[in-house]
Amino acid sequence: MTTITGRTRLVAVLGDPVVQVRAPALLNRLLAGDGVDVVVVPVHVRRDDLGTVVRGLQATGNLAGLLVTVPHKAEVLRYADVRSEAAELAGAANALRRLDDGSWHADNFDGAGFVAGLVQAGHPPDGLHVALVGTGGAGSAIAPALLTAGVGHLSLHDVEEARAKKVAERLSAYWPGRITVGTELGAADGVVNATPLGMRPEDPLPFDPAELRPDTFVADIIMKPRETELLRRAAELGHPVLPGEPMLVNQMDLYRAYFGF
């Protein structure tokens, strides 16, 4: 890592908890390698304190930007004056920066990071039928990114069907006729788990990979464990599988471009 001096600028990563965030280690290594005098630090913020902490950071002269993780991604939009289309469509942001006029801009790179990982893994989604299981925070960011990347048909699945319907309705205004809710998974070319199921060993599967066609890829956004029970079963059945890590790793370059370093 680079030596921190009085000239070093800061990026704060906001979360609750924050101990699990990997952006500081990943980004600091990249920045130090390129001689960029910016350091990324974790900032533990409880829900009730989000406004106080964000306002304080926004008043900090040498703050280069904010990264935001669970549970603050939706709420942090309150502290942005301008939102990117990705943030607007996701209803959530994971990065904020100060514009030249002093106002604050919010963006969301979760979806773009996920799609970049798909493409790298040899599964460019354009023209495919992709099923997205889970339409909470992560799913809401991934859905518009898949549509932007040209999926032919996006089916949304959620145990709270009303939530999936709401996301479908919102996105259909931009991509009419391409989104359905609750279609059979057996028709999909690829299925994405965007639920938190699989983080804990006792979690049920978010869906049964036995329902899928044999060539359907199975992607999981869960990073810990690296091989979820879902991916293990899907791999046993011969499906191409994609772990969650690339979604995060691919965002590092997107963040750097966004913050301008």
167 in contact with a second copy (CB under 8 A): no
* Shortest reach from residue 103's CB to a second copy, in Å: 16
Size of the site for a second copy (CB under 8 A): 40
One residue of 31, 53, 185, 252 binding a second copy per CB under 8 A: 53
Among 30, 41, 205, 254, interactor with a second copy by CB under 8 A: 41
Q: Does position 76 bind a second copy by CB under 8 A?
A: no
Per CB under 8 A, does 161 bind a second copy? no
| Amino acid, single-letter form, for residue 15 | G
Among 33, 34, 46, 215, indicate the residue that binds a second copy (CB under 8 A). Answer: 46
Q: Which is nearer to a second copy, 25 or 199 (CB)?
A: 25
Q: Which is nearer to a second copy, 7 or 200 (CB)?
A: 7
Other CB atoms within 10 Å distance of the CB of residue 48: 8
Separation of alpha carbons 131 and 133, rounded Å: 6
11 vs 164, beta carbon nearer a second copy: 11
Tell me if 27 sits within 8 A of 33, measured CB to CB: no
Whether 73 is a known active-site residue: answer yes
Smallest distance, a second copy to C-beta of residue 63, A: 8
Of residues 1 and 210, the one with the C-beta less far from a second copy: 1
Position 5 contacts a second copy (CB under 8 A): yes
Is there a contact between 129 and 188 (Cβ–Cβ < 8 Å)?
Answer: yes
Of the pair 40, 131, the CB lying nearest a second copy is at 40
Say whether residue 257 binds a second copy (CB under 8 A). no
99 burial (CB, 10 Å; 0-12 / 13-18 / 19+) is exposed
Among 1, 99, 159, 210, indicate the residue that binds a second copy (CB under 8 A): 1
- 256 scored as a contact of a second copy (CB under 8 A): no
Give the binding site for a second copy (CB under 8 A): 1-8, 10, 13, 15-22, 24-25, 28, 39-46, 49, 52-57, 59-62
Show which residues are catalytic. Answer: 73
